[in-house]
Amino acid sequence: MDSRRCQDDPTTATAALDFIRFCHRRKRVGWPELYDEMCHVASRGLYRGWGFSELAEHGIAFGLSEMPRLAGMVTEVVNQSAERRPRVLVGVMAPVAVLADAREEAPEDSRLLGALVGAAR
């Protein structure tokens, strides 16, 4: 089946994107590295037992003429994955240096400051 006709069929297009998502979950890389992973998965039938011919029936072709379309599908999947990924806020705290001068200037805070520094060690 011609992979260009497959993109008109929504079921086939969904299967093609599912295959790319499967490969992307296995190896979190973008194009062209994901192409290598997709070839690896196809050659071993790791996705639903599908090899190259079954994938071609579902719109995934690995030929040179299909590269632009396949790269576009990969970009779509990678971008969707990035949108779904939770954002993590990381804070960095600088170490606090205890100076003798600081203890003399603020005697009421020196016990608290000493306890915090001691706990941090």
Please give the pLDDT value at position 69. 93
pLDDT at 3 over 50: no
Instruction: Please give the model's pTM, rounded to 2 decimal places.
Output: 0.61
- 91 band by pLDDT with thresholds 50, 70 and 90: low
Please give the pLDDT value at position 113. 59
Q: Nearest CA to 58 among 14, 23, 22, 24?
A: 14
pLDDT in tens, 27-61: 988 888 999 999 999 999 999 999 999 999 999 99
| Domains of the chain, residue spans | 3-84, 93-121
